[in-house]
Amino acid sequence: MNLYKLLLHKMQAMIEDKITRLYNMKRSAEGGGGNDKIEAQHSKGKLTARERIDLLLDQNTFLEIDKYVTHRNDDPGTKKYYGDGLITGFGTVNGRQVFIYAYDFTILGGSLGEMAAKKIVKIMDHAMKAGAPLIGILDSGGARIQEGVMSLDGYGDIFFRNTMASGVIPQITASIGPCAGGAVYSPAMTDFVLMVENVGQMFVTGPEVVKEVLSQEVSFEELGGARTHATKSGVAHFIAKNEYDCMDKIKKLLSYLPQNNAEEPLLIESNDDPNRIDGNLVNILPENPYQQYDMKEIIKSVVDSAEFLEVHELFAENIIVGFARMAGRAVGIVANQPLYLAGALDINSSNKAARFIRFCDAFNIPIITLVDTPGYLPGTDQEHNGIIRHGSKLLSAYCESTVPKITCIIGKAYGGAYIAMGSKNLRADINYAWPTAEIAVLGPEAAITIIHRRDLKQSPDALATKKKLAKEYRDKFANPYIAAEKGTIDLVIDPMETRPMIIRGLDALATKREARPWKKHENMNL
């Protein structure tokens, strides 16, 4: 009996030792690179990777995997840390399952080695199998130099899975620190990139290399900061003021998206009357069709509770894209913005709108298009840089999309831009127009300059003659009723009824199914 108690005591001691070892390892893994590195992170005004995950996910829902992975590098000068500079796992955001990875800058500068890459690949595979959104949080020094080609191979494996996941599950990336070299291509392959102002940085080659090769002095922020990528390159879809704002934006964005491409976005109850009309809507338009006005006022008037999540707000501002709800249903909005370049289409706006349309189509989000555009932006800069090639992307995006598409022409819709902005011929389902719509090959002034060139030259008062002829052209040709007679406009509507008319269209199209010819993929003119 005594021997039995002795053996039992030894067994209990062994178990306790093993459990103690587990908790020591757990404490070590959760300690990141150590208190000094954590304090250094905080001194820069940055949260740690674990703090970021806790901020984003619902409380006590995060389950970490590969917590005790370490690198395989045999270099004695490289210390081994549990987790290998990366945290991966899954949890919920507002009750919805998501998979997540976050670089830990406190461990080897968040550099990516072979095993860290394998962790990302594993969590990406889990997200694909589960059909749930994937969220990446970047704060990394890039490829781990000590691991050479194995680090580069890791990026290649990640890029492949980014491509396989594209259009299958939503992929969202938050840049809350440095991201350099080949590492920047993974976020660029995801659906949405958020960058924290004065913190997030992305560039293929850093300022030192730029100075060495091109003798150009440029700061980190100027080269690849949040504002640069939000306004110039278009890499960043959203700018966040700080990390808290960044996580709030991710949560808001997720609320409009389905879990995967086989599901519909969540339909929520709306307190905004679907039959609500707005008698002031038409007053937003100026009497002179060539004066500026803010299209966002119209958008906010027709969507639920005036809530509109704009995407790429600071990039290609002559077109507006973003998410809203109508009668509780998530929709994607595409609209010309007369405040910038008169709402004309150009290279950047075509790219911006085309990619947004393709995202909406991939994830079963109906597309609402509001049109007021004088045409494509003219000039040698646009032509030489490929407006023909880039502009065709917008045509392709509308043509290949099969989700419900409702277009409303509010003002000008001239020439090729009329066709490109969700016209009936690109297979929009319902095409409305306001009485103020002007649909024509050319604007009245440009048209009569060509048609009546001789009359204008011979007229003693060319300006008065031009105004008279332009009015006659506008009354006879540039109005929505000609298009309505031909069936390319389904209905001319009272502006104040825009919201209920769109919602009724969405209700009618809720069960829409439309086939396309089988093919591996479209050969879009990239």
- Catalytic (active-site) positions: 181-182, 416-417
Closest of 49, 79, 52, 55 to residue 67, by C-alpha: 49
Place of tokens 């491409």: 261
Residues 142, 183: contact at Cβ < 8 Å?
yes
Place of tokens 């680090």: 151
Long-range contacts of 486-490 (CB under 8 A, 24+ apart): 487/424, 488/423, 488/424, 488/425, 488/431, 489/409, 489/424, 489/431, 489/432, 489/433, 489/437, 489/439, 490/424, 490/430, 490/431, 490/432
Closest of 135, 140, 132, 43 to residue 85, by C-alpha: 140
Please state, in angstroms and rounded to a whole number, the distance separating the CA atoms of residues 52 and 46.
9
- Count other C-beta atoms under 10 Å from residue 368's C-beta: 25
Three-state SS string over 227-246 comes to HHHHHHHCCCCEEECCHHHH
Burial class (CB in 10 A: 0-12, 13-18, 19+), 390: buried
Q: Which secondary structure element, helix H or strand E, spans residue 405, and what is its range? A: strand 405-414
